[in-house]
Amino acid sequence: MEDLIAWGIWISLFVFFYFIGTYREKAHLKSIVEREKALVSLPALTLKFAEDRPVVKTELVMGSVVIGGDFFKQTVASLASLFGMRISVAEAMMDRARREAVLRMKEKAAGADAILNVRMEGMKIGERNKITGIEALACGTAVYYSK
């Protein structure tokens, strides 16, 4: 009986956090898509040179974000890693973190004409095998062309 209650609590937590995590992830993705549309005029390039125009100002810009996984994701990830499966919940998390980092970088470069040589970096946050969160960092050189 006690076992049954423990399992019941565990499963209801699993379902509860699945809905919470999914809702929050969808809300975040929606805001990312909206902001990406608004910032589409400022291209983030991986090139070191883009246009042959006189430059008046350059600036190092970066954006970073730490995204944490939820209870559901962490459980699924640890189960999937037993069998060497593709962990799609983690893929979605990485995608959100990187896109958010690029957006924050763009927001810091407001007024620039382009961001050159954009690099992405990441770091795992958490101890040993446990993934508390992942950090994504985007950095690049914002250039302002003379008008």
Residues in contact with another protein by the rule CB under 8 A: 17, 20-21, 24-25, 28, 48-49, 54-56, 58-60, 62, 64-71, 73-74, 100, 116-117, 119, 121, 123-125, 127-128, 132-133, 135, 137, 139-141, 143
Nearer to another protein by Cβ, of 4 and 108: the residue is 108
Q: How far is the CB of 125 from another protein (least distance, A)?
A: 6
CA triplet 86, 23, 8: central angle to 5 degrees? 75
> How many degrees, rounded to 5, is the angle at CA 128 between CA 122 and CA 134?
25
Residue 102 beta carbon to another protein: minimum distance, rounded to whole angstroms = 15
Residue with smaller CB distance to another protein, 22 or 39: 22
Of 4 and 147, the one with the shorter C-beta distance to another protein is 147
Closest approach of another protein to the CB of residue 141, in Å? 4
Residue 59 or 95 having the CB closest to another protein? 59
- SS3 assignment, position 111: coil
| Residue 135, helix vs strand vs coil | strand
> Shortest CA distance to 44 belongs to which of 144, 104, 118, 120?
118
Angle separating helix axes 71-83 and 2-38, nearest 10 degrees: 100
Cβ of residue 37: shortest distance to another protein, in angstroms? 21
The two beta strands, 114-125 and 133-145, are: antiparallel
Q: Cα 80 vs. chain centroid, distance in angstroms?
A: 21
Q: Which is nearer to another protein, 42 or 66 (CB)?
A: 66
